[in-house]
């Protein structure tokens, strides 16, 4: 059932599908609400970046009934939740229908791998310090306080909350092994074939916050290595170099 303002809730399809005549070139007014170091927001940035669609970024959540982010406005239409954004917008961006297997893999990425990585990171104070650096909260006195004090409370609460809300979550490496198996079954360099597509952008965005550059977290690096996804991850990142460019002003980076 749609929310009070008529927009979709988490995991809920749009009440009215996007117009069938929309194409990537027709998307002229695109605005993403979220934060820089949010994995779901990173997923959407990767999707838009790979498709070459210009978009504006706004910090935090949008006004309205949906209390989370990301929220994407496309030509006046609002789409909530990175999973629903993928299902609704990927066919427009890349000009092809997505199979039930693609959607199942996207669900695995969003509600399995991404949450599992969050739980792993939240359980480790050192990981939270690296996350703060990825978020751009690593400078000045305030940055010092965030790196050395705020992560302690996140680590003590965030992992427990995720474990309680999602008791069936597996370890990140298990999801990556499943993704690698699907990649091998398809026989190409990427999930979309010899060039990356929507599913590649989504999976890369879900992992990248935890595995970016000098702030890569040991659990993510190890999972990529053990699963055999490291080569794919590097190639996908090379296709989307702008995903981690920051916009806005400290500490409200998007």
Does pLDDT of 132 surpass 90?
Answer: no
pLDDT range class, residue 47, cuts 50, 70, 90:
very high
Contact 49, 244 (CB under 8 A): no
Instruction: Give 141-158 pLDDT, tens digit per residue.
Output: 545 555 555 555 556 688
Residue with tokens 């988490």: 10
SS3 230: helix
pLDDT of residue 175: 98
More confident residue, 29 or 157: 29
What is the domain partition of the chain in residue ranges?
100-239
pTM: 0.93
Pairing of strands 56-59, 71-74: unpaired
Instruction: Give 52-98 pLDDT, tens digit per residue.
Output: 999 999 999 999 999 999 999 999 999 999 999 999 999 999 998 89
Average pLDDT over every residue of 108-121: 96
Instruction: Give 174-200 pLDDT, tens digit per residue.
Output: 999 999 999 999 999 999 999 999 999
Find, among 99, 90, 108, the residue nearest to 50 by Cα. 90
Average pLDDT over every residue of 218-240: 97
Rounded to whole angstroms, how far apart are CA atoms 18 and 32? 17
pLDDT of residue 27: 96
* Highest-confidence segment of 94-98, 108-112, 124-128, 131-135: 108-112
Ramachandran assignment for 136, one of left (phi > 0), alpha (psi -120 to 50 degrees), beta (any other):
left
Portion of the chain with pLDDT greater than 90, in percent: 78
* Structure-token pair, residue 186: 């398809």
Portion of the chain with pLDDT greater than 70, in percent: 93
Between the alpha carbon of residue 204 and those of residues 41, 62, 123, 175, 222, the distances in Å are: 12, 25, 22, 13, 16
Domain 100-239 -> CATH class: mainly alpha
Rounded to whole angstroms, how far apart are CA atoms 174 and 93? 30
Instruction: Give 98-112 pLDDT, tens digit per residue.
Output: 999 999 999 999 999
Between the alpha carbon of residue 92 and those of residues 81, 104, 216, the distances in Å are: 17, 19, 32
Residue 46 exposure: Cα atoms within 13 Å on the Cβ side: 28
Contact residues for 112 (Cβ-Cβ < 8 A; gap 6+)? 169, 170, 175
Average pLDDT of the chain, as a whole number: 92
Pairing of strands 56-59, 77-80: unpaired
Q: Cα dihedral sign for 131, 133, 134, 136?
A: positive
Q: Cβ–Cβ contacts within 10 Å for residue 181, how many? A: 12
Rounded to whole angstroms, how far apart are CA atoms 253 and 146? 15
pLDDT of residue 156: 60
Find, among 3, 202, 205, the residue nearest to 103 by Cα. 202
Pairing of strands 77-80, 71-74: antiparallel
């Amino acid at each position: 059932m749609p929310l009070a303002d008529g927009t979709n809730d988490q995991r809920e399809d749009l009440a009215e599908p996007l117009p069938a005549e929309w194409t990537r070139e027709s998307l002229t007014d695109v605005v993403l609400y979220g934060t820089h170091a949010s994995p779901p927001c990173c997923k959407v940035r990767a999707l838009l970046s790979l498709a070459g669609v210009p978009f504006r970024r706004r910090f935090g959540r949008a006004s309205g009934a949906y209390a989370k982010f990301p929220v994407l406005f496309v030509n006046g239409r609002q789409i909530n939740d990175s999973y629903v954004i993928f299902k609704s917008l990927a066919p427009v961006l890349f000009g092809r229908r997505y199979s039930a297997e693609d959607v199942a893999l996207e669900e695995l990425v969003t509600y399995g791998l991404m949450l599992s990585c969050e739980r792993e990171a939240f359980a480790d104070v050192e990981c939270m310090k690296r996350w703060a650096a990825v978020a751009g909260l690593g400078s000045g006195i305030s940055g010092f306080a965030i790196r050395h004090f705020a992560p302690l409370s996140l680590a003590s609460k965030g992992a427990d909350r995720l474990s309680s809300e999602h008791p069936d979550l597996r370890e990140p490496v298990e999801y990556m092994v499943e993704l690698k198996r699907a990649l091998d079954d398809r026989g190409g360099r990427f999930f979309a074939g010899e060039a990356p597509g929507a599913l590649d952008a989504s999976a890369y965005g879900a992992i990248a916050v935890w595995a970016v550059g000098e702030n890569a977290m040991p659990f993510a690096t190890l999972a990529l290595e053990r699963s055999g996804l490291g080569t794919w991850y590097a190639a996908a990142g090379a296709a989307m170099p702008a995903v981690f460019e920051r916009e806005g002003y400290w500490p409200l980076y998007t």
